[in-house]
Structure 1
Amino acid sequence: MKLRDIAYSRSGDKGEVSNVCVFVYDPADYRRIVEELTVEAVEAAFRPLVKGEIVRYEMPTLHGLNFVMQDALAGGVSMSLRVDPHGKSFQSLVLDIEV
């Protein structure tokens, strides 16, 4: 199944860094995303968009994961020529990952 079947996401930016959070609808699914939504899975989905390191932070009390992606926005809002310089579409891309 796609991650979107069990979770929702939010994304944001700060300069060249993109931040994508994923939260499960049902807390019973949290363990599943911890096991399956690895840094490697996110790297595979986001390459070649993200050039830098991806770090995952677990938020067990919120039943979510936060991925911080360095060198992800082609220069950031004021420099990027991308259609989506804020990386807001990253929240949809992460939800397309198979879990």
Structure 2
Amino acid sequence: MVRLYEVAHSRAGDKGNVTTLSLIPYDPGLYPVLCEVVTPEEVGRHLGERVVGEVVRHRMDGVGALLFVCPRAPGDTVTESLRLDAHGKSMSSALLEMEIPLEP
């Protein structure tokens, strides 16, 4: 098992109560593995209560990256949230803590 931050990096964006999280492997050869094991369901489970509703994943095969669209509660926006850090960048850091199975 490895944490995603060991094999990939992430960027994030916020629009209202929707956060987008990209996942880009350092080694392009790992892209197929990430496509297989980093499912929208697993991302939703991993992010827990920060996500309200279905996480949608978009494959960006041309650039070897995944994009996750994560809905949040109506009042959980950067300007309205009572959370310590409601920015998407904190959610991208949380995503990179996710453990995945990876062959040595």
Structural RMSD (CA)? 1.4
Mark the CA change 1:73 to 1:47 in structure 2 (over 3 Å): closer, same or farther. Answer: farther
Deviation at 1:81, TM superposition (A): 1.0
Which stretch of the first structure deviates more once superposed, 34-43 or 78-87? 78-87
TM-score of the two chains, using structure 1 as the length reference = 0.91
Alignment gaps of 5+ in structure 2: none
Q: How does 1:59-98 map to 2 (within 5 A)?
A: 59-71=60-72, 74-98=75-99
TM-score of the two chains, using structure 2 as the length reference = 0.87
Q: Deviation per CA, 1:2-55, whole angstroms, max 9, x where unpaired?
A: 111110001110000011000011110000000000011101111111112210
1: CA distance between counterparts of 2:22 and 2:52? 19
4+ aligned runs moved over 6 Å, structure 1: none
Deviation at 1:88, TM superposition (A): 1.6
Amino acid at match of 2:57: R
2: CA distance between counterparts of 1:42 and 1:90? 11
2: CA distance between counterparts of 1:72 and 1:33? 27
Identity %: 39
Q: Is residue 50 of structure 2 the alignment partner of residue 45 of structure 1? A: no
**Which structure has more helix as a fraction of its residues?**
2
The question of whether the paired residues in 1 share the 8 Å contact of 2:21 and 2:88 is answered with no
Mark the CA change 1:75 to 1:98 in structure 2 (over 3 Å): closer, same or farther. Answer: closer
Q: Match for residue 8 of structure 2?
A: 7
Deviation at 1:97, TM superposition (A): 1.1
Which stretch of the first structure deviates more once superposed, 51-60 or 79-88? 79-88
Q: Match for residue 25 of structure 2?
A: 24
Aligned length: 99
Q: Secondary structure at the match of 2:89?
A: coil
Alignment gaps of 5+ in structure 1: none
